[in-house]
Amino acid sequence: MKRKYMKALSVLAALSLTISLTACGGKNSDNSASSGNSGGASDGTKKIQIKVYAQHFDEDTAKPFDYAVEELKKEMPNVEIVLDEAVQDGYQKLKTYAATGNMPDIYETDWTTLQTFAKSKNVELLDSYPETADFKSKLNTGLESRLTAPDGHVYAFPYTGIEFQLIYYNKDIFQKAGIQTPIKTIDQLADAAKKLSAAGYTPMAIFAKEKWITTAFYAGLVTREDAKGFGDLEAGKPAALPTAFVTAAEQMKKLQEGGLFDANATNTNYDQASSQFYSGKAAMFVNGQWEIYSSTEKLGDKVDWMYWPAKDEATYDSSKGFINGAGSPGGFSVSPSSKNKETAVKVASFLAQKYSEYKYSVLGSPIVSVKVDKPMTGEVPPMMKRIADEVLPNVKSYATAVSNVQIKNVIDDNTQNMLVSGFTVKQFTDNVNRILAKENK
């Protein structure tokens, strides 16, 4: 799943786009899995078109992708990339492609979707490809779970390391509202929400129209109580939510009832939520560490990030090294129906490696999948430098991911509901417990 921003297109628009791209490629209208061969190149040879469904909309996505494509032109001049820009719709457009037999040659997706595609034969197993062995040899230490799935297969080439979520805040607004930092406890965050509301600000902007971000918010609270995070709901086989998860649900509800989130949060998309934060209407914003670039561009030195609060200061201090990010498979996958599958596998691996190279060397992100030989040359935002200097050297553990799709879905649905007035903690626990009892029996 992952992640952010772009305006979701309707299913009709997705189908129309598919048909349009297929027509432009001059291919059969019933299958655009591969764009096939295009017209002749300048040297007289035919180029292989590879359609790639990928995020491409900001400094953290468009520039690394464009860089990787330019590098690919040098490495594989016989390949032409046809970009199909991904939308932030929980991979619904990609699932529509799969349902209609129009999969792109290469697509970017997450572990939850990959599990579904594995069952429907819409993802190529990469286990035995030489590109996979080469990728493994370059993988950064500790990132095995980003490449090899819990079932032992390789489905995608990742370009990032283990990413995680942060709470961003506007320092100027906090100062005007008389809020002391760092905020360490849930009570302090709830008190800050009251002060910010009284001062006329939306305390925290959140694009809760996307369910993953409410799950991420809940995960941030859970990891203060249970370092292993959602993985314990599967590995531990509980028939009901453990105490740590109930406590986190109670905290999330307390913050919602205390006015931390906008009343219209579940109808708010990324563009709307980020605009509130960038324009100074909202004092806080929740998103992944990749948000650092956009927030720095919009707010400069006014913005910083904070650790997730806990039930008390002692827990806050002891759990700062528990990261609310889990290493699950994801990245660039290949469609088995690609007409140029062998080439697509090579391209997917190459794009992921060059994507990492740009993020490390130019954007200054240490959270990349493979080792990069190039030095950092770009200006590293202070917030990213703080992660590199303060967080990563002191990580005690990363959360573990839950692979069970039913458990993941019930958490997504009900964390989103937690931002709706009137939805109770009991409803949350009852709904999740019902699935846990069924899936973990």
pLDDT tens by residue, 266-322: 999 999 999 999 999 999 999 999 999 999 999 999 999 999 999 999 999 999 999
Q: Specify whether 306 is located in the same domain as 368.
A: no
Q: Are residues 406 and 367 in the same domain?
A: no
* Pair (81, 220) in one structural domain: no
Q: Per the structure block, which two tokens stand in for 353?
A: 């490696």
Q: pLDDT: is 231 or 205 the higher one?
A: 205
Residue 29, pLDDT above cutoff 90:
no
Task: Give the percent of the chain with pLDDT over 70.
Answer: 90
Q: Is 4 domain-assigned?
A: no
Query: In this model, does residue 332 exceed pLDDT 90?
Result: yes
77 or 44, higher pLDDT: 77
Both 107 and 223 in one domain: the answer is: no
Read off the pTM: 0.82
144 and 195 fall within a common domain: no
Instruction: Quickly state the pLDDT bin for 28 (edges 50, 70, 90).
Output: very low
Residue 378 pLDDT greater than 90, yes or no:
no
Q: Is residue 380 part of a domain?
A: no
Bigger pLDDT: 43 or 361? 361
**Residue 271: strand pairing partners:** none
Residue 279 inside a domain? The answer is yes
Shared-domain flag, residues 320 and 332? no
Percentages (nearest 5) of helix, strand, coil residues in the chain: 50, 15, 35
Tally of domains within the chain:
2
- For residue 419, being part of any structural domain is answered with yes
pLDDT higher than threshold 50 for residue 54: yes
Q: Are 268 and 345 in the same domain? A: no
In a domain, 39, yes or no: no
The angle formed by the CA atoms of residues 55, 264 and 407, to the nearest 5 degrees, is 60
> pLDDT tens digits for 224-268?
999 999 989 998 899 999 999 999 999 999 999 999 999 999 999
pLDDT of residue 379: 86
Residue 221 in this model has a pLDDT that exceeds 50: yes
Same domain, 90 and 138: yes
Mean per-residue pLDDT, 135-159: 95
Counts for the chain of helices (H) and strands (E), in that order? 18, 11
Q: How many CA atoms lie within 13 A of 54 on its CB side?
A: 30
pLDDT of residue 88: 75
Same domain (yes/no): 234, 114: no
Residues 314 and 171 occupy one common structural domain? yes
Task: Give the pLDDT of residue 22.
Answer: 31
Residue type, 357: E
pLDDT in the model for residue 388: 92
Other Cβ atoms within 10 Å of 240 Cβ, number: 14
User: Same domain, yes or no, for 251 and 133?
Assistant: no
In a domain, 332, yes or no: yes
Backbone angles phi, psi at 334, to 5 degrees: -125, 140
* The pLDDT of residue 101 is above 90: yes
Q: Domain with 61 in it: what CATH number?
A: 3.40.190.10
Here the tokens at position 60 are 């953290």
Q: Is 297 inside any structural domain? A: yes
Residue 113, in any domain of the structure:
yes
Range of 341's domain? Answer: 48-161+328-372
Asked if 434 and 409 sit in the same domain, the reply is yes
